[in-house]
Structure 1
Amino acid sequence: MTTSALIRPAWTPATIALMVIGFMVFWPLGLAMLAYIIWGDRLEGFKTEVNRATDDFFGGIKRATSFGRGTAASAGFARSGNVAFDEWREAEMKRLEEERRKLDTMRAEFDAYVRELHRAKDQEEFNRFMREHRASSGTTPTRAEIDA
């Protein structure tokens, strides 16, 4: 590193003075300054490596979460170089997406069916309660209650 800054990662009078003052004020500050003097010239490379690693990590997450949405290229799949295979893979992905949509529709229909069954069961229980309540109180049931 060929910078002429006053505080640079080297044994200069300014960095030594800051290190000593750091130890006197709060020892972790002095330790941090010592680490900067010893390893500070590697910070730029370290920062570059950390940025590259986090970009790779989050890029992998992005590819994993976009699986099944769109074409093979947009889902994070690289082209294989074999046109026939790539076309087959895209067709299969579209077919699977269509199957997923059908399953989602069937699930929604089943959920509606179960809700209707619960509603009918609740209605039947309520009607039974009303019949028993009317019978125990001695009142005559209405025509709607008899039909239920």
Structure 2
Amino acid sequence: MQTAPAFAAPRGNPLRRAEAWLDARGKGAWIAAMIAGFILFWPIGLALVLYMTFANKWSLGRSHKSRSMSRMTGGTGNTAFDAYKADMLRRLEDEQRAFEEFLERLREAKDKAEFDQFMDERERKSERKEDDGTAAA
């Protein structure tokens, strides 16, 4: 009977195996590989910098993953803060809605005042024309 080896290396693409090996050792291993790449042949180091940037390998670890998940779900994981945040956002939305209603009433009042002024001026002009017409006749 055969026993399974303690560490089974993933088979397949050697680049994927290297990536898995570096991921298992953490951010320090990625940085060491990048520095070694620059020392051996600078395009290798540059390629590793670009890969680490686009694959988000600069911040490996649980805290980064939990922060990413909380950003995607909109929660921080702290229920008291999340409740406070939701309440504050609701209040701010209510204040914004009230302020927009106030601005709308202000615009309507201004429009009405301008229209009333226009109608008064028009009425005065027509009265002057009537006065001029009766005086000339």
If the TM-score is normalised by the length of the shorter chain, which range does it land in?
A: 0.3 to 0.5
TM-score, normalising length: structure 1:
0.44
TM-score (norm 2): 0.47
